[in-house]
Structure 1
Amino acid sequence: MNFLKSLPALVVGAALALSASAHAADYKGEYKVSTVLGKPFPWGEAAEKWAALVSERTDGRINMKVYPNAQLVAGDQTKEFTAMRQGIIDMAVGSTINWSPQVKELNLFSLPFLMPDFASMDALTQGPVGEKIFDAIRKQGIEPIGWAENGFREVTNSKHPITSPADLDGLKMRVVGSPLYNDIFTALGANPTQMSWADAKPALTTGAVDGQENPLTVYDVAQMETAGQTYVTLWHYVADPLIFAVNKRVWGSFSDDDKAIVKKAADDAGAYGIGLARKGMTEDDQSLIKALEARGAKITTLTDEQRQKFVDATRDVYNKWKDRIGADLVDMAEKSISER
């Protein structure tokens, strides 16, 4: 009698086990994760942390391998989003800048001088603005599941300190592949040149370009002072949040439990990466800035009055791109920042 009573439970258990086994059999042996920067950049560290946490928490059932330097798209980082949508890439920790040609809302983070501090960035990514942006990405066939950070982008050059727009006049500046950046640096009187990160450092070393803009962590790890980038101005003109994302078909193939694991791992890896991206650059910790100065970097921090001159010089660009991005979204962002 006891045996007969236990039959339904045995049957159900066997069916569940069979279902789980069949589902796991649909999983790939390896999921390709694309990044532009690998370790020891905070960007690459966050991606590797994500892969490690997922492997650990699924007992190796989900195996993610990180491919840095945009190697899955032959070094052309602006093609990463499209390649993930097409299934060439399974997952990515991607730049809001690099994905902005496909998702116009991502240009929000590149509006000049929108975000004055880290709290402003958090107000956007962790609030209703972030949700709106994730909705826009989902419409493109990609599932966004978490945020990380490349950091505020600062300006460097080999010629002289930059404290006013006039100091950029005529400088050849490497910028990322976004027309918004062309507009910003043109408005400031510079000569912007778009090129991939892989081409940037050689161009700076040879003097083919005079300067560039990137987070201090990139300057640090890449030892940009050895490429002649002696002069650094901290102006926080734009920021580059990163997004953990998964191809829609891949995401749909995961069980609900595995989706929860992958997302929680992204949240944890994102927090880890954000900590690395901000280390040594906060009010309480200036250790990275001091270390760079010890290596020969001449660092300038703008006064409020100096910064305002750059704000004024780029206001027409801001207004032009506000309309392109969506005035409602930009208004929401401005409100979120004012209430932070």
Structure 2
Amino acid sequence: MISGLRTAALVTALAVLVSSAPAADAQPVTMRIQHSAPLVHQITLALHAFAQDVEARSSGEVVVDILTRPRTLVPGGEVVAAVASGALEAAAIPNFQWTDAIPEMNFSVIPYLFTDLAQIRAFSTSPAAELLEDQLNALGARTLIWMHVTRTSLITSQERPIVAPADFAGLRVRTVNEFAGVPLEAVDAVPQRLGAGSVYAAIEAGTLDAITTDVASAVGLRLYEVQGAGTVAPYFSAFYHLFVNPGWLDGLSARQRKAVDDAAAALEATTVTITEARAAASIDVLRANGMDLHLQTEAEQAAWRAAMQPPALEAFARDVPDGEAFLALLPRE
């Protein structure tokens, strides 16, 4: 009787082991991530590092395919719908590209509001991020990580740096979205909404006078070839938001899910270090290529803030239900 029980227990244990072990011919799970960063960009490099980390942590059970332009599956404007439908497993886009559906995402574009490094480090676990997550989930997306991409802005110009708010008057200035044009209109500039890939040609064609961007992107876009000056300022910040299809994520095994989550947590911390380092190096690169850079003083920051932040705050409160309450949820300096 005892021998029979032992035999039965052994058979049961073996059955459990066999059922929990991956099949020898099991196909790896694929995670395709489409993103909008240029080929030579810290976010592109960071995503490839994430891919390698996930594959190592999962022992090859999860294979990550980074889709960088021009090797993309869907047009940029359709990427959110593609992830929600499952046509793509994941995507990474700047937070301000969510603003048509989630206007709260414009918080980082408000001049001088959210550029302190401590704020950026604390954002992903903040009540503000939790509120955004509810809205993202309703749209069929789930946040994997918030990747810090900039807090060091560059406002380029042709012959001399823009120092005082009055220097903007009459200039046609590129902005990232419609909301970002509000503070520029307040200083009599003429906002022009253009994608990053179009600004070089617009400057050459004479249809654009200045660009709001960040120092690293200015290097990647070779703006020093068409703009002679620039002002470095803590004007705005941005995240690259890496989000996934919830059904795909929930369908992973416990081992696979842990590999993805652990790699994501490591990447979120690493992108802060990479982005800060690249910003510092980019200033040197721009100067080495002949750009006349002006590092904004505290007094100049105060003058720009006084002229440009209030109208942006008013627009945010108008566009976002309970906008002031949302801003109160952001990490403080």
The answer to whether the superposition gives a TM-score over 0.5 is yes
Cα separation, partners in 2 of 1:85 and 1:187, compared to 1, 3 Å: farther
User: In the alignment, is the contact (CA less than 8 A) between 1:105 and 1:136 conserved in 2?
Assistant: no
Q: Partner residue of 1:296?
A: 290
Please give the residue correspondences for 1:91-130 in structure 2 after superposition, counting only pairs within 5 Å: 91-130=90-129
TM-score (norm 1): 0.86
Q: Partner residue of 1:190?
A: 189
Q: Partner residue of 1:31?
A: 31
Give the paired residue count: 323
User: In the alignment, is the contact (CA less than 8 A) between 2:182 and 2:311 conserved in 1?
Assistant: no
Cα separation, partners in 2 of 1:168 and 1:264, compared to 1, 3 Å: same
Q: 2: CA distance between counterparts of 1:140 and 1:21?
A: 35
Which amino acid in 2 is paired with 1:103?
I
Q: 1: CA distance between counterparts of 2:111 and 2:270?
A: 27
Determine helix, strand or coil for the equivalent of 1:209: coil
Question: Larger deviation: 158-167 or 78-87?
Answer: 78-87
Displacement of 1:36: 1.0
Q: Partner residue of 1:237?
A: 235
Determine helix, strand or coil for the equivalent of 1:238: coil
Which amino acid in 1 is paired with 2:132?
I
User: In the alignment, is the contact (CA less than 8 A) between 2:155 and 2:230 conserved in 1?
Assistant: yes
Question: Larger deviation: 125-134 or 307-316?
Answer: 125-134
Q: 1: CA distance between counterparts of 2:181 and 2:88?
A: 28
Q: Partner residue of 1:14?
A: 18
Please give the residue correspondences for 1:85-234 in structure 2 after superposition, counting only pairs within 5 Å: 85-152=84-151, 153-176=153-176, 178-226=177-225, 228-234=226-232
User: In the alignment, is the contact (CA less than 8 A) between 1:38 and 1:45 conserved in 2?
Assistant: no
Determine helix, strand or coil for the equivalent of 1:242: strand
Q: Partner residue of 2:329?
A: 332
- What whole-Å deviation, never above 9, does each CA across 1:69-120 have from its counterpart, x for those lacking one? 373333x4x4432332233322122210112222222111112220242223
Structure 2 gaps of 5+ residues are none
Q: 2: CA distance between counterparts of 1:87 and 1:207?
A: 42
Q: Partner residue of 1:261?
A: 259
Q: 2: CA distance between counterparts of 1:230 and 1:126?
A: 40
User: In the alignment, is the contact (CA less than 8 A) between 1:174 and 1:211 conserved in 2?
Assistant: yes
Q: Partner residue of 2:314?
A: 319
User: In the alignment, is the contact (CA less than 8 A) between 2:160 and 2:230 conserved in 1?
Assistant: no
Q: Partner residue of 1:67?
A: 67
Q: Partner residue of 1:247?
A: 245
Determine helix, strand or coil for the equivalent of 2:238: strand
Cα separation, partners in 2 of 1:322 and 1:124, compared to 1, 3 Å: farther
Displacement of 1:126: 4.1
Cα separation, partners in 2 of 1:125 and 1:188, compared to 1, 3 Å: farther
User: In the alignment, is the contact (CA less than 8 A) between 2:143 and 2:242 conserved in 1?
Assistant: yes
Decide which structure has the larger Cα Rg and report it: 2
- What whole-Å deviation, never above 9, does each CA across 1:198-247 have from its counterpart, x for those lacking one? 22222223332122122211112332201x12211122211111222111
Displacement of 1:306: 1.6
Which amino acid in 2 is paired with 1:194?
R
Q: 1: CA distance between counterparts of 2:121 and 2:131?
A: 14
Q: 1: CA distance between counterparts of 2:9 and 2:283?
A: 70
User: In the alignment, is the contact (CA less than 8 A) between 1:164 and 1:310 conserved in 2?
Assistant: yes
- What whole-Å deviation, never above 9, does each CA across 1:4-31 have from its counterpart, x for those lacking one? 43111012222333xx559x66x65x43
Displacement of 1:323: 4.3
User: In the alignment, is the contact (CA less than 8 A) between 2:90 and 2:244 conserved in 1?
Assistant: yes
